[in-house]
């Protein structure tokens, strides 16, 4: 049935519709209401799922932050020096690689890594460069970590290598 057929049918039935406009409006309303409710319910479920996912991410990030703060306090650090923050990041990255799931693809793991470590990683890299700590190996690792188009090659070995190079740079700093 084409749009022309629908228009022709509507023209033919127009006299009937015009003779009983309230019945026509009532029927349209009775059809539109369940359709609108169904659309609203589908949207509600979709966006509720997104909100729940974001809430879970926020809770995980807060837990990571609190864990990070607690470990620093246990180490007796009140103002966190760069070396200590870098070494804690190395430990967290190593732990992430140690617990590498085998049932997830590299893209999914790359984004989990990004969400968990990107902000700290970028800040520490910038501060290391300000301190004059630099190496070709680490530069290529951090460039790889920044390149979203390379997610297919992302694996635990990349995380271990980056953590190792970050540790080497951090150990070159004063306490």
- pLDDT for 139 equals 65
How many other C-beta atoms lie within 10 A of the C-beta of residue 42? 10
Determine the distance from the C-alpha atom of residue 57 to the mean position of all C-alpha atoms in its chain, rounded to a whole number: 8
- In this structure, the chain runs to a length of 175
* Intervals of the chain under pLDDT 50: 147-149
- pLDDT for 148 equals 46
pTM of this structure: 0.52
Place of tokens 């309303």: 29
Q: In this predicted model, what pLDDT tens digit does every residue of 71-114 receive, in sequence order?
A: 877 766 656 688 888 889 899 999 988 888 777 777 788 888 88
Extents of the domains making up the chain: 1-78, 79-175
- Residue 70 tokens read as 């607690």
Question: What sections of 99-155 are H helices per DSSP?
Answer: 106-130, 136-146
- Give CB contacts under 8 A, 24+ apart, made by 116-119: 116/60, 116/61, 116/64, 116/92, 117/89, 117/92, 117/93
Q: How far apart are CA 129 and CA 125, in angstroms?
A: 6
């Amino acid at each position: 049935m084409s749009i022309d057929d629908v228009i022709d049918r509507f023209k033919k039935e127009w006299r009937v519709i015009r003779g009983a406009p309230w019945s026509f409006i009532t029927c349209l309303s009775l059809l539109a209401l369940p359709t609108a409710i169904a659309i609203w319910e589908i949207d509600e479920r979709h966006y509720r799922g997104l909100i729940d996912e974001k809430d879970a991410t926020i809770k995980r990030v807060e837990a990571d932050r609190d864990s990070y703060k607690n470990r620093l306090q246990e180490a007796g650090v009140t103002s966190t020096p760069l070396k200590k923050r870098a070494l804690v990041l190395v430990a967290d990255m190593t732990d992430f690689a140690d617990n590498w799931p085998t049932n997830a693809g590299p893209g999914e793991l790359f984004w989990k890594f990004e969400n968990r470590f990107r902000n700290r990683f970028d800040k520490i890299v910038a501060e290391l460069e300000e301190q004059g700590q630099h190496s070709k190996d680490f530069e290529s690792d951090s460039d790889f970590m920044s390149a979203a188009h390379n997610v297919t090659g992302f694996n635990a070995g990349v995380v271990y290598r980056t953590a190792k190079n970050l540790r080497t740079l951090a150990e070159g700093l004063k306490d």
